[in-house]
Amino acid sequence: MDKMAEGSARRMALSTGRRSFLARTGAVIVGGALLPVLPFDRTFGVLPANAAESDEFSCEYWRYCALDGNLCNSCGGTLTQCPPGSEASKVSWVGTCKNPVDGKDYLVSYNDCCGRSECDNAPFCNTNQGERPGYRMGLHNDINWCMANASVGYHCTVAVLVGLAE
């Protein structure tokens, strides 16, 4: 290693003038010291996924774009399954949400989970994209969708994919 460095230094010193040799060597030394502090993309092209793409526990998650309620996956259930002791509502609110990963629109059914007291230690989401005010009956989502169940107590809300919106 030493010999190689010495050899290339000697060759450069022979083929260039002393001033030019010193200038180039100085440039290499200063450049080498500055390189690590220059700003550059340290993600190497791999961007962290944002909440809309991947965080099912955040109201930002794309599938919750038209949701009004407490997230069941923070209440002992999952994204699509009611917590133990509660049952899915027989009627639901259906929204259309764009999946940021594939850019397609999906129909999402927001079923309330019924028969237990309200789960209030979960994120409450009130996104309601596409909803209309309460006087537009049928287009309003601030509704207890447990209304058609035997036990009408509202617990939380799940977000079930129905299919692609054509």
Catalytic residue IDs: 93, 112
Q: Which of 90, 109, 76 is nearest to 152 (CA)?
A: 90
Q: Which residue is nearest to ligand ABN (CB)?
A: 144
- Determine contact, residues 163/105, Cβ cutoff 8 Å: no
Binding segment toward ligand ABN, per CB under 6 A, in 15-23, 45-53, 139-147, 158-166: 139-147
Orientation angle between helical segments 18-34 and 2-15, nearest 10 degrees: 130
DSSP-derived pairing of the beta strands 68-70 and 124-126: antiparallel
Minimum separation from the CB atom of position 86 to ligand ABN (A): 13
- Determine contact, residues 105/94, Cβ cutoff 8 Å: no
- Determine contact, residues 116/86, Cβ cutoff 8 Å: yes
- Determine contact, residues 114/86, Cβ cutoff 8 Å: yes
Q: Does the annotation flag 143 for ligand binding? A: yes
List the x/- string, 32-71, binding to ligand ABN by CB under 6 A: ------------------------------------xx--
- Binding ligand ABN (rule: CB under 6 A), the pick from 154, 155, 158, 159 is 154
Q: Does the annotation flag 141 for ligand binding? A: yes
> Residue 106 or 145: which CB sits closer to ligand ABN?
145
> Residue 69 or 95: which CB sits closer to ligand ABN?
69
Question: Which residues contact ligand ABN (rule: CB under 6 A)?
Answer: 68-69, 112, 142-145, 154, 157
